[in-house]
Amino acid sequence: MSSVTKELLDFIDTAERNRKYPGGTAAGRRSALRLFEVELNDEEKESLDTFKKNLDQIYQNVFNKNKSNMSAGSLATYKMRLESLIKDYEKYGQDPTKLANWNRPVRKYKKAPLEKEVRDSIPATEPKPEVLLPEKGSDFSRFELPLRPGIKAIIIVPSDISKSEVEKLRGYINFLDSIAGNEEGLNNEEA
pLDDT (tens digit per residue) in 91-128: 998 888 888 888 877 666 666 665 555 556 555 555 55
- Greater model confidence, 2 or 81: 81
Q: Are residues 61 and 130 in the same domain?
A: no
Q: Each residue of 152-173: b (16+ CB within 10 Å) or e?
A: eeeeeeeeeeeeeeeeeeeeee
| Neighbouring residues of 130: CB distance < 8 A, sequence distance ≥ 6 | 111, 112, 114
Which pLDDT score is estimated for 94? 83
Q: Are residues 78 and 15 in the same domain?
A: yes
Mean pLDDT across the chain? 80
Q: Are residues 29 and 80 in the same domain?
A: yes
Which pLDDT score is estimated for 88? 92
DSSP state of 147: E
Q: Are residues 170 and 85 in the same domain?
A: no
Residue 112 lies in a domain: no
What's the predicted TM-score (pTM) here?
0.54
Domain boundary at 100, 128, 152, which?
100
User: Maximum CA pair distance of the chain?
Assistant: 77
Which pLDDT score is estimated for 155? 83
Q: Are residues 180 and 122 in the same domain?
A: yes
Average confidence (pLDDT) over 171-186: 73
At 177, the pLDDT band (50, 70, 90 cuts) reads confident
Q: Are residues 88 and 133 in the same domain?
A: no
The domain of 22 spans 3-100
What digits encode the pLDDT tens for the residues 125-163?
555 555 555 566 567 777 788 888 888 888 888 878 889
Residue 121 lies in a domain: yes
For residues 1 and 158, what is the distance between their CA atoms, to the nearest angstrom?
60
At 53, the pLDDT band (50, 70, 90 cuts) reads very high
Which pLDDT score is estimated for 130? 53
Given a contact cutoff of 8 angstroms between Cβ atoms, the answer to whether 146 and 152 are in contact is: yes
Indicate if the pLDDT at residue 63 is higher than 80: yes
For residues 57 and 36, what is the distance between their CA atoms, to the nearest angstrom?
11
Q: Are residues 49 and 92 in the same domain?
A: yes
Residue 146 lies in a domain: yes
At 3, the pLDDT band (50, 70, 90 cuts) reads confident
Q: Are residues 16 and 94 in the same domain?
A: yes
Residue 154 lies in a domain: yes
Indicate if the pLDDT at residue 21 is higher than 80: yes
Residue 105 lies in a domain: no
Q: Are residues 21 and 71 in the same domain?
A: yes
